[in-house]
Chains A and B, each alone.
Chain A
Amino acid sequence: MNLKLKVWRQKNAQSEGKLVDYEARNIPPAASFLEMLDILNDELQAKGEEPIAFDHDCREGICGTCSLTINGIAHGPSATTTCQLYMRTFKDGETIYIEPFRARSFPVMRDLVTDRAALDRIKQAGGYITARVGSAQDANSTLIPKTAADLSMEAAACIGCGACVAACPNASAMLFVGASVTHLAALPQGQPERRERALRMVRKMDEEGFGNCSNHYECEAVCPAEIPITVISNLNREYAAASAREAAI
C-alpha cells in the first residue's frame, strides 16, 4: 500500500508545530499503524532526516501508551488502540492526517508525543485503596454481588490512554475519572474512602485544567476499553453526594 501522510512535527514543547507531508510506500496491509510509522522512520533515518517521535510500548492494546489522532479521531477509525489498528482499514493511496492527542493538559513534548502525566496525578489524588485489602483468600471470603462485580470490572478496563480527553471537544477527563471512581465505589473494599476519593479526584481534575463534560459522548465512541458514559453519570452522583456529606460533617 502507498499512503500520503500529513504528520504533525514539533521540535519541543515551546516551539510551534505544523503538518508535514510524507509518503509511506510499500506498506503491508497487515502492518499496524505504528509499524507503518516504523517503516517510514527507517526510511527517514536512512536519508539522514529526524524520525517522527510517537509514544508506544506494549503494542498489544493493553498498556495505554500509544496515542495519535488519526483523521481527527483519537486512535483512528476503529475502537481500538492505535497499535491494534491495521493498515488494511485504509484505502491504497489515501491521505491520512496524524496529529497528537490535543488538550491543554496534554502538552506536546515532541512531534506526536504528549505528556499525559496529568492523568497519573489525578489517579494519585485518590484513585486507589490506601490500606492493604488482603490476600487471595480474603478476596474469596468477601462477598460481592455479580452486578457490582460486573459494573466494577467494566470500569476497571480503563487503560488510561487519554483518548477520551483527546476526543472530547472540551478536553474533559470525566470518562477517565468516572471509570476510576465507579470501579472502586462498586466494591466493598472501596467503601471507606469512597466520598473522599470522589472529592479529591474531581478537584485534581479541575486543577489540572481539563474541561467539563457537555454530553457529546465522543469519549465513549473512541474508548479502546469501551468504557460507557454511564460512569460519568455515576461520577456526577458520587461527587454531589460526597460534597453534601462533606458539608454535613
Chain B
Amino acid sequence: MNFITSFYNSSIGKKWIVALTGLVLIGYVIGHMAGNLQIFAGPEKINAYAAFLHSLPGPLWVIRIFLIVCLVLHIVMTIKLAVENRSAKAQKNEYQATTSFKPAKATMVLSGLVVLAFLVLHLAHFTIRSIDPRFHELPRGEFDVHSMVILGFQNVWYSGFYIIAVFLLCLHLSHGFQSLLQTLGINSKKVRLPITYGGQALSWLIFAGYVAVPIAVLTHHLTLVP
C-alpha cells in the first residue's frame, strides 16, 4: 500500500492516473461513436444494439461504474495538479507571452468543464430520459433509440450545443492524445510527429463521426421511419 500512496502523492503518479483514465475515456468515446453510427443502418440495427446492451445488466453496470470512476479520477487528479501548479507559479510575469499560441493546450480546463456540463445534460436527456417526455412513449417501445435520437436532434438548440460540446471534446483530445502518450513514456524523436499528428487526425475523425448524426437529422437525411 505504501507504494500506491507514494506513487499517488508524486507529481508523475498523478499524471499517470490522468493519462490512464484519459486513455480509457478515449476508448469509450470511440466505442460510443461506433454505436451511434449504426443509426445510418436503419432502426432495426441500432435498436437491436441498444436492446443487446440492456440484455446484459451485470456487465453494463460494471462498465458504467468503471467509466464513472475513471471520469472522477481524471477530474479530481487534474484539479489536484492544477492547484499544485498554481501554487508553483506564485507570481506571474507582468508581460505575458508564450513562444506560440496553442488553442487546444490553453483551453484544456475550459474544454473539459464544458464537456462535463454537456455530459450531465446528455445523460439526463438520452440515458435517464428526464428532459423530453416523448422519450417515454417511443413508437417501437423502450429501446427505440432510432426514434429517440431523431426526435432529440430535431431540436436545433440541443443539436447546436451537442456540436459545440463535441468540438470542444475533440479539441481536448487533439492535445490530450499526444499528451497521454508523453505521460505514459511513449514518446521519442521517431514517434513524436506521428503521435502528434496522428492524435489530431484521430480527434477530428471522432468529431466527424459524432456530428454526422445531428447534421443528418437537421438536414432531413435521417428521418423518423413510420
The answer to whether A236 and B12 touch across the interface, beta carbons within 8 angstroms, is: yes
List, in ascending order, chain A residues with CB within 8 A of B162's CB.
none
Q: Does A103 contact B (CB under 8 A)?
A: yes
CB of A235 within 8 A of chain B? Answer: yes
A194-221 CB contact bits vs B (8 Å, 1 = yes)? Answer: 0000000011011001111111101001
- CB of B15 within 8 A of CB of A230, answer no
Q: Using a Cβ–Cβ cut-off of 8 Å, how many residues does chain B contribute to the interface with A? A: 46
Residues in B with CB closer than 8 Å to A210 are 11, 88
B55 interfacial contact with A, CB 8 Å: no
Please tell me if B64 contacts chain A, counting CB pairs below 8 Å. no
Q: Tell me which residues across on chain A come within 8 A of B4, comparing CB atoms.
A: 247
Contact with A along B76-109 (1 / 0, CB 8 A): 0000010011011111111111111010010010
Residues from chain B with Cβ under 8 Å of A168 in the complex: 89
- Report yes or no: A230 in contact with B189, Cβ–Cβ below 8 A: yes
Q: A-B pairs with CB below 8 Å: how many?
A: 140
Chain A residue nearest to B11 in the complex (CB):
A212
Known: A72-B96, A243-B7, A246-B3. A229 touches B182 (CB 8 A): yes
Known: A202-B11, A206-B11. A212 touches B85 (CB 8 A): yes
Interface status of B186 (Cβ within 8 A of chain A): yes
B12 near A170 with CB under 8 A, answer no
* Complex partner residue of B89 from A211, A221, A247, CB under 8 angstroms: A211
Residue numbers in A under 8 Å from B98 (CB-CB)? 72, 216, 218
Report how many residues on chain A are interfacial, defined by Cβ distance under 8 Å: 51
Task: Give Cα distance in the complex from A246 to B2, angstroms.
Answer: 10
Chain A residues closer than 8 Å to B14, beta-carbon distance:
212
The answer to whether residues A105 and B88 also contact, given A215-B175, A215-B179, A230-B188 and a CB cut-off of 8 A, is yes
Of chain B, the residue at the smallest CB distance from A243 is B7
In the bound complex, do residue B81 and residue A214 qualify as a contact, i.e. CB atoms below 8 Å apart? yes
B188 touches which one: A6, A72, A105, A233 (CB < 8 A)? A233
Cβ of B69 to closest chain A Cβ, rounded Å: 20
Q: State whether A234 touches B3 (Cβ < 8 A).
A: no
Q: Per-position contact with B for A164-197: 1 when CB-CB < 8 Å, else 0?
A: 0001111110100000000000000000000000
Min CB distance A101 to B, Å, is 10
Give B contacts to A, CB under 8 Å.
2-4, 6-7, 9-16, 81, 84-85, 87-100, 102, 105, 108, 175, 178-179, 181-189, 192
12 other contacts beyond A233-B183, A236-B16, with CB at 8 A cut-off? A102-B90, A171-B85, A172-B85, A202-B10, A205-B11, A206-B9, A206-B10, A213-B183, A214-B108, A237-B185, A243-B10, A247-B2
